[in-house]
Amino acid sequence: MTLYGLKTCDTCRKALKALEAGAPGPVTFRDIRAERLTAAERARFLGAFGEKLVNTRSTTWRGLDEAERAGDPDALLEAHPALMKRPVIDGPGGLTLGWDKAAQAAHLST
C-alpha cells in the first residue's frame, strides 16, 4: 500500500498512523514534494478522480492567478505538487482520495 501526500500535512500524518496500525500489509509513504509524481501516476490519478484531485481550497491555489487556475490540471499538478488533494492511497481497497470514512473502510482491516 502506498500513501501519496506531504510529510507536513496533518491529514496525511493521521492517515499514515492509522494505516500503519491497522492496514493488512506494509505501508509506504511517498512525499510528493520530495519525489514528484510521474506523468503516468498523474494520468492515473486524474483518470480516477478528475478535477477533484486539484485542491482548490489550498494556500497554493489561492496564490495562483486566474490564467494559471484555468490551466490543465495535469500541468498544474506537475508545476505545483502541493495542489494535489491528499492523501491519495493506493492499496488493496483500491485508489482513494482523502481520509474520510469511505477511505478508512476501504483500507483498514476490521
Q: Which residues contact 33 (CB under 8 A, 6 or more apart)?
A: 6, 7, 81, 82
Name residue 89's beta-bridge partners: 3, 96
pLDDT exceeds 60 at position 110: no
The runs of H, that is alpha helices, within 50-109 are: 59-62, 66-69, 73-79, 101-107
Based on the residue annotation, tell me whether 9 is a catalytic residue of this protein: yes
Give the CATH number of the domain where residue 70 resides: 3.40.30.10
* pTM attached to this predicted model: 0.92
CA distances 58 to 25, 36, 69, Å, are: 31, 18, 12
- CA 103 – CA 71 distance, rounded (Å): 29
Please write the tens of the pLDDT for every residue from 86-101: 999 999 888 999 999 9
Question: Which pLDDT tens digit goes with each residue over 41-77?
Answer: 999 999 999 999 999 999 999 999 999 999 999 999 9
Query: Which residue in the list 6, 9, 19, 37 is annotated as catalytic?
Result: 9
Domain housing 39: 2-107
